[in-house]
Amino acid sequence: MSALVIVMGVSGSGKSVLAESLAEVTGWQFAEGDNYHSPANKARMAARIPLTDEERLPWLNALRDVLEGWHRQRLCGILTCSALRSAYREHLSAGLPEVRFIWLDPPRELIEERLSRRSGHFMPPELLDSQLATLEPPSGSGGSATVFRLDGSEPRQEAVAKILAWLRSEHLID
């Protein structure tokens, strides 16, 4: 069985940094969800216009294709995706029993600090409020998938160690 992990949270929560570290430690496949946004969606966000569900759907479908490809090949993989709504999480995980979500949920002040230091990213800090308003906090499951919540402010190595222990408890790694 493959393990498919989606690192989720609002922009600036630390998804990419943590997912890259986790991929490095595990040797699993890695896909940065932001790379699958269309140029039009990136332009909208850069113009400080939040995406609608309709505009997000092709992006979610592309991410679902990545997960299904890993599943078919029996590969383990780590994907970053905000996955803000339960419907998005269900769309990504439906029919893939090996999907697990890691929800990074740092304090707003830390997110704001991270966003203020980030340069060259299409997602401006001004959209944080819309992301927080869209977020439907997972309640232990991402639809049919299990969710592991991290504060997102712990040191990276500590967060990776916690995730590895959780994945072992889920019988997805030895």
How much is the average pLDDT of 94-107? 91
Q: Give the mean pLDDT of 3-8.
A: 95
Domain limits, the chain = 18-169
- Report the predicted TM-score, pTM, of the whole model to 2 decimal places: 0.87
Task: Please state which CATH number belongs to domain 18-169.
Answer: 3.40.50.300
Q: What is the pLDDT of residue 35?
A: 92
pLDDT (0 to 100) of residue 140 = 57
pLDDT tens sequence across 57-96: 999 999 999 999 999 999 999 999 989 899 999 999 999 9
* CA neighbor of 13 nearest in space, from 35, 43, 34: 34
Model confidence over 156-171: pLDDT tens digits? 999 999 999 999 998 8
At residue 44, φ and ψ (nearest 5 deg) are -60, -45
**Residues whose CB is less than 8 angstroms from the CB of residue 99 and which lie 6 or more positions away in sequence, other chains included:** 4, 5, 6, 67, 92, 93, 142, 144, 145
